[in-house]
Amino acid sequence: MNHKACAELLVSVLQTSRHARQKEEIRYKPATWLTVCLFAILSAIFFFAGNVAAQGSVTGNFHRIEMYADKPYPQYEYLAYRMLRHEVTNPQGQTSDITSRYSTAAIIPGPTIIMDEGDVAEITLYNSIPNPDKIDLHENVSLHVHGVHYDIVSDGTLKYINLFQDEGATLVQSYTYRWNAAVGTAGTWPYHDHNMSTHNGAEDKGLFGALIVNPVAKTVAVNQNGSIQSVPLSSIKKDYVLYMMDDTFAGTVIDTQTGKQTPVWSNPALTAQAGSNVRFHLIALGTNFHQFRLPGYSWPDPITQTLIEEKAIGPLEKHVVAIQASTSTVYLDSTFAGIAQNMTGSFNVAP
Amino acid sequence: MKPHISGSQIKTILTCLTLFTMLWLSNLALAATHNIHLAAQTLPNGQHAYRMLSHTSSEGSTPTYPNEATIPGPTVFVKQGDVLNVTLTNNTQLKVGLTPGSIEVSPGDTRSFAYAADQVGVFPYYDKDSHMVGLFGALVVDNPNGAIDSFIDEIGNIVPTKRADLDKEIVMFMIGSTFWGAEMVNGNQIPLWTNPTLGAVKDDLVRFHILSLGPGHTWHLHAHRWPDRNSKEMIDVKMLKDGVDSHTFTIKAGSGVGTGYWQYHCHLFSHMEAGMAGKFHVVAAGESGASIAGASPSGHIFLNPFTDDPGLVTFEITDEPGRWFRSIRSDILSPITKTRSLEVIPPGGSVHFIMSETNAVHTITTLLWPSGANDPDHGDHRVIPFSQTKAYKGGAILKLDVPGLYVFTCRIHPYMFGAVIVDDPATEGLDLGESIDIVTGINGLPTSSDLATRLLRTFFVATVQENWQDYTSTKPWHPNYPSVAVRISGGAVVNLKDVLEARYGQDVKLASLFKPTTPGVGEVWINTQFEKTAGKTKPGTITVLDAATWTIKRKIALPQINMNHPHNMWSNREQSVVFQTQWFDDKLTFINREDGSLINNIQIGNTPSHVITIPTNDDITVAINGENGIRIIPAGTMTPQPMIMTQLPGQTAAGPHGHWVTADGKLVVTPNVITSDIGLYDTDSGEIVARTGSGGVFPAEPHPLAVGVGIDKVYTTNLLDHSMNVTGLDGTLIKTINLIADYDPVSPTGPDTVKDRDGDGLVTVGVLPIQTPVDPTGRVVVTANTGGSITIIDTQLDRVVAMLPCDPGCHGVNFGAKQGGGYYAYVTSKFSNQLIVVDVDLNNPANSSIAGRISMVADKSVPTDDKVVSLAGMGGQGIYAIPNIYNGWVQHLPDAWKAGLTAAQQNPVP
Ligand SMILES: [Cu+2]
Ligand SMILES: [Cu+2]
């Protein structure tokens, strides 16, 4: 890259700022002119990012998030997301760092990102997945999110799909996504890679997590003593994020009082206090269909507004089971494949 | 008792009656009568489709339908309460029906039925037999008041909507792993065919009707969300369950997200890998929101060059032996191609696979492709090599641009073959391409090479039933090859038949059958997996051979359960119950050994391959080849317990095939086909002891298929790597034996193609090795090589010490007792109908020889539960000799069975 190229790049950054700001170049070999160029580009990006945040499209909090995509175990094929930083700026401009809520490790499922309807998040993804056999600068890892609003540059897909650009982090370039949890997007949603290795991504290797968008109303429908009650969101004591992979549940437990997230991995034993309200955030991922059951419990079906005792869930569907804990039981996938693979774990309720 | 009705009650009743009558009349006034005349037709690629001949409505206007038969068929829009008088004319060559209505129409006939649209919703209409290959369409029954599903706008309002507000309606059928689409704009119905690019202008109101028939899916559209069935629950993924299902929703295009190419796809990972995706293109106001159709059965393909529309050829995946990939127009092509499994398209054409006639799970995987098709500078590198990580139900679709030969297989059933020639019409001869790349990592193999033409010959033998070796015929073996000009390396144009006959001979005299002079002990059960009988649609029998007389004792077809591809057997300790896997199904079958009768048929898991017991407790272990574990059935029961998983949670499903258990019962050893490793698992704890990467000759996809367990070593065949791994019982790799060290694959066929290249003084070749058991004493490994040879490994040397001839598709090996001491190795071949009996020399393994050749064809006197109608004795695969004389098992035989064995046979490893 020469000075002219730098200038052209800078111009294009400014002209198509909304698009080009998504890319931040990192880890280039030191060269004075390059540093200058980078500085100029990064300044432009920063300027624009600040602009967006201040544009008034944000009615709620602004989330600044940085995550890694890692290969946590050299001997295994697993890939996983790791939280690096999460700062929240409220509409009054006060910023708090909530990074300590997350595990410092790369985990499966990945960090659960919690937003309120009306919030906006900017998430920068770094790719630290080693690529030993071919230093392929195009090898790409991404975040594709479901449910919320984002424009085409935040789709997290390859140019092969979006006909615009490769929207992911490479070994030498991070990528920033902007998610708008606009009013109307409340719910539990998956996010996952769409770019690693192939245009389908490596979601099947562990690159997935959950986004929970809390409703403006801040209430939840729960089965309490056999009837559907609308309770304050704050009455939920624990959130269990349970991904249903083809052969296992993979979970994270969130203590809603502290916000602390604890990875609990495969078919975890879950605990609750009797009488407390808890939620299972279920998302399937892979190829198999599942039938979720929690014998002894029923919960509100959001479609029919009736109590149900089991729920069929297909890949990337989501379903939230909100109950008041009373007796110990197990959760399970009751399909033929679920039973053959022993997809089950205990739900232990302490009196 | 007399009824007593008071005056006021009468008044109430009358009022009610009047009200009902008024309601009924008002309904009548709203309801319309539709006269709909559909035709079923066959499209140029052989798929079938419905076409609208006429549609009149008492209400007046009806849509403008396509002037051709389309997939999906015409979308019929009516209102609740309407009556449909439906007429179907069958212009195809097969019986065609219409559900709902349940009519059956013979070719050339016309039949009618009336249908009352009494329920609001979207419903598929379809033919119950041919719906997977095109005979389906959508019936949309709307609310008479015009209200449809609400959409959510960019600020979160759920907006009630009427059909009249819509800018466009889209119908998408999810079939196999392909989308079939159509759209309706201003009363015009436009076919969009496969995986189209759907178009819409930003803020257009678009209603989607998603339907599925057959295996289920999850529909996902990027960046859009909608109320699930008009509720307050927002979703962007919707499951369409197995069988018949549908889902309707309305969106405002680009709402809150803007313009762009937004992907839609099925979110089942195997279906994503199978190509089940397309684009939803939202454009800015003022631009054209027209959709772009995808590849079509009526488009440009071989023999249908009359259009510039991109064409599509279709392979049905079937359980029919040889024709596992069957071109749906093979009746037309096969006189030229001599096989039902070869298709020809121009560059830019598409290939479509549909698992419409199989009970198994499969992958659709490129075995080889023209060099350059996966060049990173080329768009096709995103699809070539093509495969799925995990076997599943569905199909596949992909577009091919680079001319040359592509061969597809299934990773689970690696003798299923389908080939596509992408032929540049501008060149002379069908383009096989300059060179091919093979999935194992061989790149740039000239199409003139011996390996290339040997693979082609294997393809024409494996896929053509008539090309199999019939040992009961007196005629020489005469495989038919297509007499077509093909363009190969260096641009040479040659006749394919001439080349194959010159290289590999023609009218070869088959060896004569003869019985071994020394009898065997007991019975030999052979899976004649392709033999077809009258009482069932699926192939396969068990041939029971009396080893004392070498005559067939019984044929077992089990028509009552439509036994499908019986692949491998074992028995309980008492030798009274035989366990049988159905490899193209999900069943394990329990059979009474004495009389061949059915005891039970249980669901065990997708595509069970091999079965073996744990010698120490007689528990049954079944390798679930299409999935990820070893299913356990406790001894004496028929209830499967959870699996020993072949991998850690969340890891790629290993796909274990021909497993074995150590004599001490402590370890189950699996060749993991999909993950290319040898797994050792603790039978007590289910824990992984070791997983050792397999392979050795070529860099990728060795495809370990079977293991043999000796006293302290494991022998694993690598099918596509033509090699054998020798590992310790702790998983340590001791050695890799290259079975093709004496073979030159790259040069054109010649006198030096096979010669002693490794300098061991022997010429031995084991191409595509499969079953490989170690004899009960641990001295000899006998390996069946698909390429048509039996190789013998001396375990004291761990090298090949002898080679014996075998038939095409040489596959199964197992040991049985020889009367008076010693063992026979019984060897089967898929594409012949003889059993080869190898006399194994345990003192000098190099001296092992063929002791006999037994026909697997039964004469009329043989007791059977069904009548053999074709492929008599063909498809030899699993073998199980009774009594079971393997070390660890033989010690547990009932005394009556032990009586027939020598002292050494009763204790093979003293
Ligand atoms: Cu699907
Ligand atoms: Cu298969």
Write out pLDDT tens, residues A262-281: 999 999 999 999 999 999 99
DSSP SS3 for A7 = helix
**Ranges of chain A whose pLDDT falls below 70:** 1-58, 132-138
Tokens of B597: 């009768």
Length of chain B in terms of residues written: 910
DSSP B573: T
Using CA atoms, how far apart are residues A164 and B279, in angstroms rounded to an integer?
A: 13
Tokens of A92: 């009054």
pLDDT digits 0-9 by tens, B624-633: 999 999 999 9
Q: Using CB atoms within 10 Å of the CB of residue A101, give its burial: 0 to 12 exposed, 13 to 18 middle, 19+ buried.
A: middle
pLDDT digits 0-9 by tens, B501-548: 999 999 999 999 999 999 999 999 999 999 999 999 999 999 999 999
DSSP SS3 for B450 = helix
Cβ neighbours of residue B910 closer than 8 Å, sequence gap 6 or more: B904
pLDDT digits 0-9 by tens, B103-114: 999 999 999 999
Q: A50-214: which CATH number, 2.60.40.420, 3.30.2290.10, 3.40.50.970, 3.30.590.10?
A: 2.60.40.420
Tokens 């949670």, residue located: B649
Verify whether the Cβ–Cβ distance B235 to A302 is below 8 Å. no
C-alpha B411 – ligand 2 centre gap (Å): 6
Q: Using CB atoms within 10 Å of the CB of residue B24, give its burial: 0 to 12 exposed, 13 to 18 middle, 19+ buried.
A: exposed
- Residues in chain A closer than 8 A to B648 (CB atoms): 76
pLDDT of res. A197 = 85
Using CA atoms, how far apart are residues B671 and B722, in angstroms rounded to an integer?
A: 15
A-to-B residue pairs, Cβ atoms closer than 8 angstroms:
175
Using CA atoms, how far apart are residues B715 and B723, in angstroms rounded to an integer?
A: 10
Percentage with pLDDT > 90 across chain B: 95
Domain ranges of chain A: 50-214, 219-350
Sheet holding B188-194, edge to edge: B188-194, B178-185, B168-175, B205-214, B243-252
Please answer whether residues B578 and B591 qualify as being in contact, where contact means their C-beta atoms are separated by less than 8 angstroms: yes
- CA distance readout (Å), B23 to B59, B146, B208: 19, 18, 32
Using CA atoms, how far apart are residues B517 and B820, in angstroms rounded to an integer?
A: 12
Does the CB of A103 have a partner CB in chain B at under 8 Å? no
Please answer whether residues B45 and B109 qualify as being in contact, where contact means their C-beta atoms are separated by less than 8 angstroms: no
Verify whether the Cβ–Cβ distance B277 to A184 is below 8 Å. no
pLDDT of res. B660 = 98
pLDDT of res. B322 = 98
Verify whether the Cβ–Cβ distance B237 to A245 is below 8 Å. no
Verify whether the Cβ–Cβ distance A200 to B273 is below 8 Å. yes
Please answer whether residues B445 and B453 qualify as being in contact, where contact means their C-beta atoms are separated by less than 8 angstroms: no
When scoring A177, A247, A249, A339 by the number of chain B Cβ atoms within 10 A, the one with the most, hence best to mutate, is A247
Tokens 């209409």, residue located: B125
Verify whether the Cβ–Cβ distance A314 to B218 is below 8 Å. yes
Q: What would the mean pLDDT of B269-280 be, rounded to a whole number?
A: 97
Does the CB of B216 have a partner CB in chain A at under 8 Å? yes
Q: Count other C-beta atoms under 10 Å from residue B167's C-beta.
A: 16
CA distance B425 to chain A (A): 28
Which chain B residue has the Cα nearest residue A338? B642
**In this complex, which of A78, A318, A339 lies closest to B650 when CB atoms are compared?**
A78
Using CA atoms, how far apart are residues B845 and B601, in angstroms rounded to an integer?
A: 40
Radius of gyration of chain B (CA): 31
**In this complex, which of A78, A286, A316 lies closest to B220 when CB atoms are compared?**
A316
- Residues in chain B closer than 8 A to A147 (CB atoms): 225, 234, 236
C-alpha A263 – ligand 1 centre gap (Å): 30
Q: What is the largest CA-CA distance in chain A?
A: 71
- CA distance readout (Å), B84 to B23, B72, B184: 21, 19, 20
Q: What would the mean pLDDT of B785-811 be, rounded to a whole number?
A: 97
pLDDT digits 0-9 by tens, B723-748: 999 999 999 999 999 999 999 999 99
- B523-906: CATH topology is Methylamine Dehydrogenase; Chain H (2.130.10)
Q: How high does pLDDT run on average in chain B?
A: 95
pLDDT surpasses 80 at B16 = no
Q: Would you say the C-alpha torsion A165, A166, A168, A169 has a positive or negative sign?
A: negative
Q: Fold match between B312-447 and B523-906? A: no
Cβ neighbours of residue A313 closer than 8 Å, sequence gap 6 or more: A244, A282, A283, A284, A289, A290, A291, A292, A319, B239
Q: What would the mean pLDDT of B635-640 be, rounded to a whole number?
A: 97
Chain A, 67-86: which have a CB under 8 Å from a chain B CB? Answer: 76-78
Counting ligands in written order, the one closest to the CA of B317 is 2
Of B418, B359, B723, residue with least CA distance to B564: B359
Which chain B residue has the Cα nearest residue A266? B649
Does the CB of A302 have a partner CB in chain B at under 8 Å? yes
Does the CB of B722 have a partner CB in chain A at under 8 Å? no
pLDDT of res. B12 = 53
C-alpha B722 – ligand 2 centre gap (Å): 20
Q: What is the ipTM of this complex?
A: 0.94
Domain ranges of chain B: 146-294, 312-447, 523-906
Does the CB of B710 have a partner CB in chain A at under 8 Å? no
- Residues in chain B closer than 8 A to A192 (CB atoms): none
- B146-294: CATH topology is Immunoglobulin-like (2.60.40)
Does the CB of B245 have a partner CB in chain A at under 8 Å? no
Chain A, 127-146: which have a CB under 8 Å from a chain B CB? Answer: 144, 146
- Residues in chain A closer than 8 A to B624 (CB atoms): 340
Residue type, B842: L
- Residues in chain B closer than 8 A to A146 (CB atoms): 220, 236-237
Using CA atoms, how far apart are residues A145 and A157, in angstroms rounded to an integer?
A: 10
DSSP SS3 for A162 = helix
Chain B, 645-684: which have a CB under 8 Å from a chain A CB? Answer: 645, 648-653
Q: What would the mean pLDDT of B66-82 be, rounded to a whole number?
A: 97
C-alpha A286 – ligand 1 centre gap (Å): 11
CATH homologous superfamily, domain A219-350: Cupredoxins -  blue copper proteins (2.60.40.420)
**In this complex, which of B155, B260, B631 lies closest to A152 when CB atoms are compared?**
B260
Tell me which of B6 and B293 has the higher pLDDT: B293
Integer distance in angstroms from the first to the last C-alpha of chain A? 67
**In this complex, which of A76, A147, A312 lies closest to B234 when CB atoms are compared?**
A147
DSSP B322: T
Does the CB of B232 have a partner CB in chain A at under 8 Å? yes
- Residues in chain B closer than 8 A to A206 (CB atoms): 650
C-alpha B840 – ligand 1 centre gap (Å): 50
Length of chain A in terms of residues written: 351
pLDDT of res. B2 = 43
Using CA atoms, how far apart are residues A63 and A53, in angstroms rounded to an integer?
A: 10
Which chain A residue has the Cα nearest residue B639? A340
Of A300, A282, A301, residue with least CA distance to A291: A282
Chain B, 600-629: which have a CB under 8 Å from a chain A CB? Answer: 603, 605, 624, 627-629
Using CA atoms, how far apart are residues B85 and B112, in angstroms rounded to an integer?
A: 7
Q: Using CB atoms within 10 Å of the CB of residue B16, give its burial: 0 to 12 exposed, 13 to 18 middle, 19+ buried.
A: exposed
Q: Count other C-beta atoms under 10 Å from residue B662's C-beta.
A: 22
pLDDT digits 0-9 by tens, A334-343: 999 999 999 9
pTM as predicted: 0.92
Tokens of A88: 């929240």
Omega before residue B321 within 30° of 0, cis: no
Tokens of B214: 């057959």
Q: Which helix (H) or strand (E) holds B129?
A: none
C-alpha B677 – ligand 2 centre gap (Å): 19
Whether domain B312-447 has CATH 2.60.40.420: the reply is yes
DSSP B70: B
Verify whether the Cβ–Cβ distance A315 to B218 is below 8 Å. yes
**In this complex, which of B256, B261, B389 lies closest to A204 when CB atoms are compared?**
B389
When scoring B242, B257, B398 by the number of chain A Cβ atoms within 10 A, the one with the most, hence best to mutate, is B257
- Residues in chain A closer than 8 A to B242 (CB atoms): 289
Using CA atoms, how far apart are residues B339 and B315, in angstroms rounded to an integer?
A: 13
CA distance B241 to chain A (A): 8
pLDDT surpasses 80 at B275 = yes
pLDDT of res. B869 = 98
- H-state helical runs in chain A: 3-15, 17-20, 32-53, 159-162, 336-340
Verify whether the Cβ–Cβ distance B218 to A318 is below 8 Å. no
With cut-offs at 50, 70 and 90, classify the pLDDT of residue B199. Answer: very high
pLDDT surpasses 50 at B455 = yes
Beta bridge partners of B172: B181, B210
Q: What would the mean pLDDT of B271-291 be, rounded to a whole number?
A: 97
- Residues in chain B closer than 8 A to A161 (CB atoms): 261, 263, 277, 279
Tokens of B444: 């740039």
Which chain A residue has the Cα nearest residue B645? A341
Percentage with pLDDT > 70 across chain B: 96
Using CA atoms, how far apart are residues B165 and A234, in angstroms rounded to an integer?
A: 41
Which chain A residue has the Cα nearest residue B255? A149
pLDDT surpasses 50 at B9 = yes
pLDDT digits 0-9 by tens, B464-509: 999 999 999 999 999 999 999 999 999 999 999 999 999 999 999 9
pLDDT surpasses 60 at B703 = yes
- Residues in chain A closer than 8 A to B382 (CB atoms): 160, 198-199
Please answer whether residues A161 and A205 qualify as being in contact, where contact means their C-beta atoms are separated by less than 8 angstroms: no
Counting ligands in written order, the one closest to the CA of B395 is 1
DSSP SS3 for A233 = helix
Omega before residue B748 within 30° of 0, cis: no
